[in-house]
Amino acid sequence: MASDAVVLLSGGLDSYTAAAIAREEGFRLFALTVRYGQRHSREIEAARAVARWLGVARHVELDVDLSAFGGSSLTSDIPVPKDRPIAVTGTTALAANEIPSTYVPARNTVFLSLALGWAEVLDASDIFIGVNALDYSGYPDCRPEYIAAFERLASLATAKGVKGGAFRIHAPLQMLTKAQIIRKGLALGLDYGLTHSCYDPDAQGRPCGRCDSCTLRAAGFAQAGVADPVLSR
């Protein structure tokens, strides 16, 4: 019988690939998508399509409106940065450790806490998240030390942990470049045309092509030597 895993599913190519890896490893998937007050709904639509493709056992869409706090260009009227010089090198995406305005304060901590609560209810020990520490936008909650710290917290903060159980926070993409992630996903047969990455799409949901996420995605597909199917639709 397959073990259960909670997978955080945003509709982007990273979370899709991480969830597919979990499925390849034999886990039965319980997908969690959070409507956190982001400025567009296109990624929620993508998450639904991805969840269907993955054949998850259950897909929960949860409302936790972080726009009530603001503090990010993804949850407020702050302009999304465009045309920033992001060098995708396989070691770092930003020189100078700049944290951009698209960072949503404590977002991954909120998301992982919700996933942890559901995992405990399911009696599941495994949570998958598609964070990346190489080709990313400089967010502090994507780093390996953060994931390791949350895994320790999970055992301290839960009834399961107190009773001697343990949780594993899987971040299988953490040390991969965007191109390596894309190649891994294509080897798994993923349809990246279902995904959405743009921080600031137009009214029809089309990517802007200029935000950090679009830039990283474009560079990843170019380095992988394949066309981005989203741009051909």
CA 218, 175, 85 angle in degrees (round to 5)? 35
Q: What is the pTM of this model?
A: 0.93
Per residue in 76-110, pLDDT (tens digit) is 999 999 988 765 544 444 444 678 899 999 999 99
Domain containing 228 equals 4-232
> Residue 111: which of 6, 17, 190, 22 has the closest Cα?
6
pLDDT for the residue numbered 99: 86
The pLDDT > 90 percentage for the chain reads 82
* Integer Cα distance of 21 and 180 in angstroms: 13
Mean pLDDT of 224-232: 92
Mean pLDDT of 107-122: 97
Q: How many CB atoms lie within 10 A of CB 19?
A: 27
pLDDT for the residue numbered 133: 83
pLDDT greater than 90 at residue 4 = yes
* Integer Cα distance of 10 and 26 in angstroms: 21
pLDDT for the residue numbered 199: 93
pLDDT for the residue numbered 84: 83
Domain count of the chain? 1
CATH number of the domain encompassing residue 152: 3.40.50.620
Copy the structure tokens of residue 116: 């942890």
pLDDT for the residue numbered 233: 64
How confident is residue 134, by pLDDT bands cut at 50, 70 and 90? confident
Per residue in 30-71, pLDDT (tens digit) is 999 999 999 888 999 999 999 999 999 999 999 999 999 999
* Integer Cα distance of 127 and 22 in angstroms: 9
Q: Compare 232 and 148 and report the one with higher pLDDT.
A: 148
